[in-house]
Amino acid sequence: MSLRGWPAHDLAVERLRSSYAAIPTGAPVRLAKKTTNLFRPRAATDAPGLDVSGLDGVIAIDVDAKTADVQGMCTYEDLVDATLPHGLIPYVVPQLRTITLGGAVTGLGIESTSFRNGLPHESVLEMDVFTGAGEVVTCMPGPNGEHSDLFDAFPNSYGSLGYATRLRIQLEAVPAYVALRHVRFDDAELLAKTVSEIVDTQTYDGVRVDGLDGVAFEPGEYYLTLATWSEQGGPTSDYVGQDVYYKSIQQRSTDLLTTYDYLWRWDTDWFWCSGAFGAQNPRIRRFWPRRWRRSDVYQKLLGLDRRFSIADRLDRRAGRPLRERVIQDIEVPVANLPAFLDWFDDAVGMRPVWLCPLVSKREWASYPLEPGEVYVNAGFWGTVHVGPDAPNGPRNRAIEQQVLELDGHKSLYSEAFYDRETFDRLYGGANLAVVKGRYDPQDRLTTLYDKAVKRR
Bridge partners (DSSP) listed for residue 214: 224, 355
| Judgement on whether residues 23 and 132 belong to the same structural domain of the protein | yes
Do 328 and 447 fall into the same domain? Answer: no
In this structure, the answer to whether residues 359 and 445 fall within a common structural domain is: no
Instruction: Tell me 75's DSSP state.
Output: B
Contact 385, 320 (CB under 8 A): yes
Domain around 18: 6-174+434-452
Establish if 272 belongs to a structural domain. Answer: no
Shared domain check, 163 and 29: yes
In a domain, 254, yes or no: no
Asked if residue 239 belongs to a domain, the reply is: no
Specify the CATH number for the domain of residue 24: 3.30.465.10
Mean pLDDT score across all residues of the chain: 93
Residue 444 and residue 368 share a domain? no
Are residue 441 and residue 342 in the same domain, yes or no?
A: no
Q: Is the pLDDT of residue 427 over 60?
A: yes
On whether both 346 and 445 belong to a single domain, the answer is no
Tell me the helices (H) and strands (E) count for the chain, helix number first.
16, 16
Assign residue 327 the CATH number of its domain.
3.30.70.2520
pLDDT digits (tens, 9 = 90+) for 258-301: 999 999 999 999 999 999 899 999 999 999 999 999 999 988 88
Question: Residues near 1 by Cβ (< 8 Å), separated by ≥ 6?
Answer: 57, 58, 78, 81, 82
Inside any domain, residue 92: yes
**pLDDT-derived band at 199, boundaries 50, 70, 90:** very high
**Same domain, yes or no: 146 and 62:** yes
Domain count, the chain: 2
Residue 413 lies in a domain: yes
Distance between CA atoms of residues 257 and 6, nearest Å: 35
pLDDT for residue 328 is more than 60:
yes
Res. 213 pLDDT band, cuts 50 70 90: very high
Say if CB 158 and CB 106 are below 8 A apart.
Answer: yes
Task: Judge whether residue 437 has pLDDT over 50.
Answer: yes
Q: Which helix (H) or strand (E) holds 296?
A: helix 295-308
Determine, yes or no, domain membership for 143: yes
Answer whether residue 238 is part of any domain. Answer: no
Q: Clarify whether residues 18 and 124 are in a common domain.
A: yes
Give me the amino acid identity at 445: L
Q: Do 408 and 447 reside in the same domain of the chain?
A: no
Taking alpha carbons only, the member of 54, 67, 49, 50 closest to residue 6 is 54
Q: Are residues 351 and 445 in the same domain?
A: no
Asked if 447 and 400 sit in the same domain, the reply is no
In the chain, what is the straight-line distance between the N-terminal and C-terminal CA atoms, in Å? 38
Q: Which of 270, 244, 269 is nearest to 255 (CA)?
A: 244
Residue 56 lies in a domain: yes
CB-CB contact of 427 with 417 (8 Å): no
Give per-residue pLDDT as tens, 303-317: 887 777 777 777 778
Give the pLDDT score at 334: 98
Q: Identify residue 339 by its one-letter amino acid code.
A: A
pLDDT of residue 245: 98
